[in-house]
Structure 1
């Protein structure tokens, strides 16, 4: 029994080392988030919705950065969020209605830092996807922030093509 536990602990430790071997660090700052174009929660409590949305974005940024070398750091400063769709009254409830005129937008600046904190790459970005409903193979179908994640994936692939670890 003791030997089985030792093998299990060893395997978990080894898995943990492989799991984090190739991942850049990520830092996300949410500047003036009370002024964002669209962080409307609909029926959900605004503070809870904002926290859940920011967490989902941060997890996605970390997922993207996982393909960058582990000696780098990717720093985001998000200055505006306009989620796909718009919150309207649907009967007695406030619901998010997704139509082509309510396309996702995201404004941020980023810095890709090397291990010595020198800037390898940086820019101010204003993303928008006016054709978000016409994409045929949405990767995040039925997931939270699916259109925004798709837009970020496309931007990341174009921006960091030469830095990504194959």
Structure 2
């Protein structure tokens, strides 16, 4: 049996650590390998424009923190689940996120220790612009349009059933409000 040298063991350890670190690296919404749509499943399809064009990233004072994570994908999954509950049998819905500005913003002038903290103030409301197409069982478009979602009183209202620790709770509430108030009326009218 051949003995491995200390040097070989050290090299193997470094390679293993590097591969684990690469897998654990935080994903960004601007990653070219990140999907731009949910996989087809069920009656609701959701896709989104390039997050680099979203107000959240274009106007951020901390672009690194703004693009970190998988929040666009999480909002798309949430929109799918929320809208599926409202559709009539046979109906389908196509949603495209055109623009997203998350609630709060970064205020780097508080110093380097606070530059990565999202500050919630009334002047930073959540905003989502989406396009949708509601189709009947025969594939005909029943309704389509663009919705500009915004909640200026997001800090003063209830976030409903969302967890107060969910970083996307205000954006999810925008989606819930749109599904309940606007989409449900359009579905009922058809």
- Band the TM-score falls in, shorter-chain normalisation: 0.7 to 0.9
RMSD, aligned CA: 2.4
Contact in 2 for aligned 1:71/1:114 (Cα 8 Å) = yes
Q: CA deviation at 1:137?
A: 5.1
Matched with 1:5 is: none
2:93 to 53, 74, 77: 74
Matched, 1:104 2:126: yes
Q: What is the rounded CA distance, in whole Å, between the counterparts of 1:24 and 1:114 in structure 2?
A: 14
Q: Secondary structure at the match of 1:84?
A: coil
CA offsets per residue over residues 85-122 of structure 1, 9 Å max, x none? 00233533422111111000111110111222211121
Q: Secondary structure at the match of 1:152?
A: helix
Matched with 2:79 is: 61
Matched with 1:114 is: 136
For structure 2, the residue ranges without an aligned partner over 5 or more in a row are 1-40
Give me the TM-score of the superposition, normalised by structure 1.
0.72
- Identify which of structures 1 and 2 has the higher relative contact order when contacts are C-alpha pairs closer than 8 Å and 6+ apart: 1
Q: CA deviation at 1:60?
A: 0.9
The count of corresponding residues between Structure 1 and Structure 2 is 139
Matched with 1:148 is: 171
Alignment of 1:3-152 (within 5 A): 25-39=43-57, 44=65, 46=67, 48-49=68-69, 52-67=70-85, 68-89=87-108, 90=110, 91-92=112-113, 93-136=115-158, 138-140=160-162, 141-152=164-175
For structure 1, the residue ranges without an aligned partner over 5 or more in a row are 1-22
Q: Secondary structure at the match of 1:38?
A: helix
